[in-house]
Amino acid sequence: MLKTKSEISEKFLNLFRNNLVFLLLILIFIIFSLKIPGFFAKQNFDNISRQMTTLGLLSTGMTLAIIAGGIDLSVGAILALSITIGGLAIKNGYSLEIVYPLVIISSLFMGFINGFFISKLKAPPIIVTLGTMNVFRGIAMVITNGKWVSPIPPEFLIVGKSYIPFLTLAVVFIIFIIINTFWKFGRNLYAIGGNEIAASFSGVPVVKYKFFIYLISAFLSAIAGIIFVGRSGFIQPQVGIGYEMDAIAAVVVGGTSIWGGSGSIARTVLGTFFISIILNGLTMLGVNPYWKDAFIGGLILLAISIDSIRFLSEKSNIRI
């Protein structure tokens, strides 16, 4: 049976969207290998593996939120405030056994706030998390007067050394790939993102699921913050600005639909790797940081444009 022009175009768009990250990886590898001496050196890839940990953890929570039809713009602010609270505890002489649980608990409280407004009050996720992003970051600045917390005792730096960050990220990726692929929780996220009303009528506890998504995202933000402190050796309340955009870029370039209902953690792994390489390569080239932001924004627009054309084509059967 002959396919219509619309069906062919739709198939091409799906193929292009699903393989966008592979095409971009090949392109960027070629460009950076020609422009940056030593780009493929082991030391550089060691740096990339450590740097991608923070982004990967944030992107994992972001993937769950987007698959379920939401978004979390507060991940960077949760990271900043949770480690700032931990930093003040360190400054007051508290031990690792007190500080780490405090960081986790404070992040879960912030995730609770997001989850309450989004799941219980039915507020739009983008508005809620935009608001809490500013609230959390403002609190971090107020309680520290904008000052860094330093020095950090050596026992808090162990988690950022050697391959511990990368191994932590690998474990998290594996756990959530299994959850999203084989567990009922993961399958129901796709149902919620695809059609929340239909999922609810099918017996999916939508409110509970949406609430837990933002708890998970906040928890992963705290873990990312703990590792960030171990790697950097300091705590600053301004940290994490723009991290939410990097995470969104990793998710959508990896192939997760911004409309919800499709995507995977496995593809976010590739998206995270790609964005980390981009940021590393642009730094090695000495590119102005503002151009990095512009580049990430452009990638997001590219991925969303392709995804939106595909989505509109499927929904309205228009010719493209």
Question: pLDDT for 121-172, tens place per residue?
Answer: 999 999 999 999 999 999 999 999 888 888 899 999 999 888 899 999 999 9
Question: pLDDT for 241-254, tens place per residue?
Answer: 999 999 999 999 98
* Domain boundaries, given as residue ranges, for the chain: 49-239
Q: Give SS3 for 297.
A: helix
| Interval 210-224 mean pLDDT | 97
Q: What is the reported pLDDT for 244?
A: 95
Contacts 24+ apart (CB under 8 A), 8-14: 9/313, 9/319, 9/320, 10/310, 10/313, 10/314, 10/320, 13/306, 13/309, 13/310, 13/313, 13/320, 14/310
**Measured distance CA(32)–CA(278) in Å, rounded:** 9
| Interval 259-288 mean pLDDT | 90
Question: pLDDT for 21-54, tens place per residue?
Answer: 788 888 888 888 888 888 888 888 888 888 899 9
Percentage of the residues of the chain whose pLDDT score is greater than 90:
59
Q: What is the reported pLDDT for 315?
A: 62
Q: What is the reported pLDDT for 161?
A: 85
Q: What is the reported pLDDT for 222?
A: 97
Taken in order 29, 30, 34, 35, is the CA torsion positive or negative? negative
The reported pTM is: 0.90
pLDDT at residue 15 above 80? Answer: no
Question: pLDDT for 161-190, tens place per residue?
Answer: 888 999 999 999 999 999 999 999 999 999
Q: For 63-67, 124-128, 179-183, 289-293, which range has the lowest pLDDT when averaged over its residues? A: 289-293
